[in-house]
Structures are given as C-alpha cells and as structure tokens.
Structure 1
C-alpha cells in the first residue's frame, strides 16, 4: 500500500522548499512521486523539484479540492498503478482546502490502494498573523486538518512573535505537533518520522461559505521573452511592493537573464532571487505567475515585457462549488 504525505500551506509559505528537504531523507530503495497542484502557476514549483531528479506529476488550471477533484482522484490511481511508489508526496495549491483533499484520498476508490500517513501544514512565520486575520475559516482549515504544523522563516521573526504564533496554533489545533526552529536544525530522522506520523485529525465540518474570503483572488501567468538583469528584476519587484500592478499576494517565475536564468519568489512584499544554469529550462518555460486581487495584466506585462503585445498564458479566478 502506498503511503500518502500531504504538505499543505498558504501561498508562499515554503511548501516546495520543505518537500525538497523531505525528499533527501529517502534512500534509493524507496520509489517516491511528487504530485503538484499549482493553481495557474504554470508548473514552476514542479520544475524546481524535477531538477532534483524526482518524478513529478502536475495538475494545473484548478484546485484539487474543488474543480479538479475527479482529475486528482484519477491522478493518484494512475500514479499507483504506473509507478507503484512507496510514497506519494502531495503539494496542494496554497488556495486548497485541506479537509476536502483528505476526503478525496479517503474515498472508497482509493481505500485499498493508499493511506494517509502524514498531514503537514507549513505556517509562514512572517505573515501568519495577517493571513489568519484576512482569510479566517479558510486559513484555519489548513491548520485544523494537519497533524504537524511546521513554521517557516523562523530566523526572520523574534522570539516574542514565535511565542504568539505557537499560542495561536495551539488554540486552533491543540493536538498537532508544532515545529518552530530553523529547518537546518531538523534532523533527517525527525523528517522521516514526520512522513510516518500517527494521524490525529478530526472530520472537519466546514462553513459552506469557507471560500468567500478568497473568491476575489485570481491568478495571471504570462510568458516573459525579455532578458532582465538582477538589478532590473529587483526594481520590478520593488514596484510590485507599492501596489503598481494590484495587490499581489504571491508571485514567482523564471526569467531569462544574461548568461543565466533567474528564479524569483515574492510573498507579500518579501522576495528572493536565485540563479540557475542556462540549460535548466527550454524556451517555453520562461514565465511569471501572479496571485492576488485587482491585478493589472497590462502593467504586469509592461514590467516584464515592455509595452509590446501581451502574451497571456492563463487567467483564472477561484470559484468554490
């Protein structure tokens, strides 16, 4: 029977980074497949994990807890039948309702094929308090449905903030284990124990309007044909911080630069930029993705492509049924 580990968390919390760390604990005898669900994000996180040499299956253009439920169920079935993996690590979109994803995995069609062994939610230490206030029941669902809560960006927050976060998390889910330390200090044995942890979650009864708090969020992805230097990319991201193209919650992408490829991550005004090998991507994968409210496609395109024709890859609006 295949073990299922779900790594949930809001947009930009650090799910992909944590999954890359989890993958390092497996020895070669384990067959591991990563199932990525990127809501309109053009497979950017999937490319990052593929670079590590792992099998990655991607489900795009929707969310596995609502519009892609059937696709998600079939994808899990197909992965098990094709690869017979020891583990499937599932990374839902940051807009996913974790309790609904659990219901899909526990349905009768999958009951004899797999079992959930770990439910991990990554908590963004820098933005936790703002996200809790802004996204209410939807955000709390990811916390209540997990058996382990792992706080990210702990080196960037004070001890007092850590205490407040822990107290808040304990009030929302008193049964969950909480890890609040630098991820470099988490030993491989502890990570492996997380993958095989005892499940302690309840059957969450959701408010039918749980999606209302995020109904105005949409995502835009565009191709980026222009070469951009690190300095120019920093200037672009600084413009995004002041609301030039709308309220951006999350942005990321691959950019062609001079003699290298730039990979950037942006979360609520905080960003980082990294370099990758020139042969990392083919030309079809130079793209940027934005998730937020009141997004201006025209202004985004001006920033990344100049004033030329807009090459829109995808525009999606989140709808809950």
Structure 2
C-alpha cells in the first residue's frame, strides 16, 4: 500500500525546506512521487527541490488542490498509483490550502484500501505579523486542527500559535538528521491513521474570498540591484495586501534570479536551473489594474495571467 504524506503550512512557513530535509534523511532508496501545488503558473517550489534518487516530481499549478483543483488531484493520484506504483507520495499544497479539503479528496482512496496516510504534517514558521494571523486565522486553524503532527520551523515560538490546546504532537527541535531520524520520523509514521483523521476531521470556516493570483512573465533581464529595488517598491505600494511573491527573473549576464517575498522580508539568490522567467503573486484586495500599473511602470511591458 502506498504511503501518503501531506505537508501543509501557510505561505512561507518552510514546507519546501522541510520536504528537502525529509527526502534527505528519511527516503533513501524509496520510489517517491512528490506532487507540488503552486498558486500560480510558474512552478517555483518544484524547481528548488533537491533531486533525490528515485524521486519523481509532478506539478499541479494555477489553483488550489483543496478546492478548485480537487478533481485534478484525485485524477492524477489515481493514474499515478496505477502507472508509477510509488512506494510513497508527498503532497505539498499551496500555502492557502485548507487541509480538511485535501483530506476529503483523499478519502475515496482510503476507503478503497489504496493508500495509507502518514502525518499529515503542518509546518509552522514565525508568524509574519499579528495582522497576518488575524486576517487568515481560518486557514491556519484548519491546517493545525487537521494535522497529525505539527512541526515548528527552527526559531518559531509555539506561543504565537496557541499550540498548547492542539491534539496533534508537536515537533519543536532543530531539523538535524539525528532529530529527524530518532524523533520526528517515528511521530509521522506512528501517528494517527488516515481513517481516524478523516472521521475526526475538522472543517472550519476558511475565508479565502478576495484572494487574487497572478503570474507575471517579464521579458527583460535584471541586475541584483534592479530586482531588489522592485521588491522594495512593491512593499511600499501594497504593504500587507501583498501576501507572497516568488519566482524567477532573467539575470543580466545569464542565468536567473530566484526571488522570494513575504510581508516580513525578501530574498534574491542566483539560480542556475533551466526555468522560464515568471513570478507568482498572491494578494488580498489587489485588483489586476493595480498590478498592471505597478509592474508596467517598474518592469516594462509583460504578459500577466490570472
């Protein structure tokens, strides 16, 4: 029977970093399928995933697998189980995906005896701001209350999330090989079974109305200073309305910039992989016309997909 692990967590919590550690420490020699769900057209997390022997990566983008793409997820898993016969599936949903919706999508596979759940894992990183938590508390509660294991990113204060009242075990140690192998993996593999989680599943009021997704496709190249200036002006223009930006910009001189932005910080790194330039944006209360005006002014003409 194929083991399935969902790695949930809000935008920027550290899901991709956690999965990289899990692949490195816990899946040597395993036939593993990793399903990445990004909110925009550009598959950023899949490009950043460390390649591991036996790992197949698939992307389901331009939406959320807990709601609008739930049917796509079910179809893909059914086909993958038949054609790829993976020993394990890891699913990384979008940061604004409710865990309860994904569990509902997987329920038929449990009933048919096709999969067994490990976890599910919800990764919690340092909260960006108090306003961030109050504005999207419904999504966070759903991810936490339906988790089998809560994993704190190193440096995260448990008090920020009122963890004491949660029924799931909490892993708050550093993400070292020893801690993963001896403490975390037994928690994940010996945690609640899928049938128990689904029968006790908490379906909260997940308020995602007003969230807008855009993918920008700039055609020109940028220096590090130009890319940094764009992100700085973006912060000034939209503030807390802009929740997340991630993607790739073509780098002056060749290659790409990997850009990451949240309400509390930004990062620009060199990236040598073969990807097309593209930036995914998610925000609340931002109209397409505002995005077009800002990026046309800062970056010149480009294609924008909604």
TM-score of the alignment, normalized to the shorter chain, above 0.5: yes
Q: Following superposition of structure 1 onto structure 2, how do residues 67-146 of structure 1 map, counting pairs within 5 Å? A: 67-107=68-108, 111-127=112-128, 129-146=130-147
Instruction: Deviation per CA, 1:94-150: give whole Å up to 9, x if none.
Output: 111101211221225763211111111111213274433112333201000002112
Give the C-alpha shift of residue 194 in structure 1.
4.5
Which of 225, 231, 235 is residue 237 of structure 1 equivalent to?
A: 231
Contact 1:244 1:299 in 2 (8 A): no
Partner secondary structure for residue 221 of structure 2: coil
Residue 193 (1) aligns with residue 194 (2): no
1:13 equivalent in structure 2: 13
- Confirm or deny: 8 A CA contact 2:149 2:191 kept in the other structure: no
Equivalent residue for 2:216, pick from 222, 228, 232: 222
In structure 2, C-alpha distance between the alignment counterparts of 1:108 and 1:18, rounded to whole Å: 25
Q: For each residue in 1:33-72, what CA deviation from the matched residue of structure 2 results, as whole angstroms up to 9, or x when unmatched? A: 1011122252111222275563111112222121222211
CA contact (8 A) 2:122 2:144 kept: yes
Distance 2:293 2:42 in 1: 20
Task: Name the SS for the 2:186 alignment partner.
Answer: helix
Matched, 1:203 2:200: yes
Distance 1:139 1:132 in 2: 8
Residue among 148, 161, 172 paired with 1:180: 172
Alignment pair present for 1:249 and 2:243: yes
Give the structure-2-normalised TM-score: 0.87
Conserved? CA contact 1:64–1:101, under 8 Å: yes
Q: Please give the per-residue CA displacement for 1:254-303, whole angstroms capped at 9, x wherever unaligned.
A: 111133321011111311121122xx114xx2101110021422134336
Corresponding position of 1:65: 66
Distance in 2, matches of 1:227 and 1:44, equals 18
Closer/same/farther in 2, CA of residues 66 and 163 from structure 1, 3 Å limit:
closer
Gapped runs of 5+ residues in structure 2?
A: none
Give 2:274's aligned residue: 281
Instruction: Provide structure 1 residue ranges, at least 5 long, that are not aligned to the other structure.
Output: 316-321
Give TM-score scaled by structure 1 length: 0.83
> Does the 8 Å contact 2:152/2:158 carry over to 1?
no
Task: Please list, as runs of the form range in 1=range in 2, the aligned pairs for 1:274-313 lying within 5 A after superposition.
Answer: 274-277=269-272, 280-282=273-275, 285-293=276-284, 294-295=286-287, 296-302=290-296, 305-306=299-300, 308=301, 310-312=302-304
CA distance in 2, matches of 1:163, 1:28: 31
Task: Tell me what 1:267 maps to.
Answer: 262
Stretch of structure 1 that moved more, 110-119 or 11-20: 110-119
**Residues 108, 242 of structure 1: alpha-carbon distance in 2 compared, 3 angstrom cutoff:** same
> Quick one: structure 1 residues 110 and 58, their matched pair in 2 at CA, closer, same or farther if it must change by over 3 Å?
farther
95 and 270 in structure 1: CA distance in 2 versus 1, 3 angstrom threshold: same
Q: Is the contact made by 1:226 and 1:256 (CA closer than 8 Å) also made in structure 2?
A: yes
From the superposition, tell whether residues 7 and 267 of structure 1 become closer, same or farther in structure 2 (CA, over 3 Å).
same
